[in-house]
Amino acid sequence: MENVPDLIRHIIHYSCHLLVPFVIAKLFWKENWWKAGLIMLATMLIDVDHLLADPIFDPNRCSIGFHPLHTVWAGMVYLGLLAIPSWKWRAVAVGLLWHLCTDAIDCLLGGHCLFCSLPEYLYVMS
Ligand SMILES: [Zn+2]
């Protein structure tokens, strides 16, 4: 994929992180959409895993599959959280999964190959 200009890429990325959670919350949790949106926003806390990396921030790095809370394994745990019968935990799960989608979109817009590391995952699992 051709690289998208940085400004457009950042607008898309931060809109996905900061605005879309409230749109999703409005769709799923009409009564508690405001709280659900804030819970989803709070899932940005998984970005603390960037502190383990050196350098902490690298604009040319793709978070997905690199940082521990941004891996396929972490995604499976987030998916499992959907099974908890509580709208708050489901908001956490949807927020975390949306966070991974948002970062994945950013990787694609930055010209990264998202599924290039998939064969390694399949190899580890077999
Ligand atoms: Zn992230």
Query: What is the reported pLDDT for 113?
Result: 82
Task: Supply the pTM of this predicted model.
Answer: 0.87
How far is ligand 1, taken at its centre, from the CA of residue 3, in Å? 19
- Nearest Cα neighbor of 17 from 36, 35, 34, 42 is 42
Query: What is the reported pLDDT for 27?
Result: 97
Query: What is the reported pLDDT for 117?
Result: 65
How far is ligand 1, taken at its centre, from the CA of residue 70, in Å? 7
Give the integer Cα–Cα distance in Å for 71 and 68. 6
How far is ligand 1, taken at its centre, from the CA of residue 33, in Å? 22
Query: What is the reported pLDDT for 111?
Result: 87
Long-range contact list for 82-90, CB < 8 A, 24+ apart?
Answer: 87/29, 87/32, 87/36, 88/35, 88/36, 88/39, 90/28
How far is ligand 1, taken at its centre, from the CA of residue 63, in Å? 6
pLDDT means over runs of 10, the chain (126 residues): 82 96 96 97 95 88 92 96 97 98 92 73 62
How far is ligand 1, taken at its centre, from the CA of residue 92, in Å? 14
How far is ligand 1, taken at its centre, from the CA of residue 17, in Å? 9
Query: What is the reported pLDDT for 1?
Result: 54
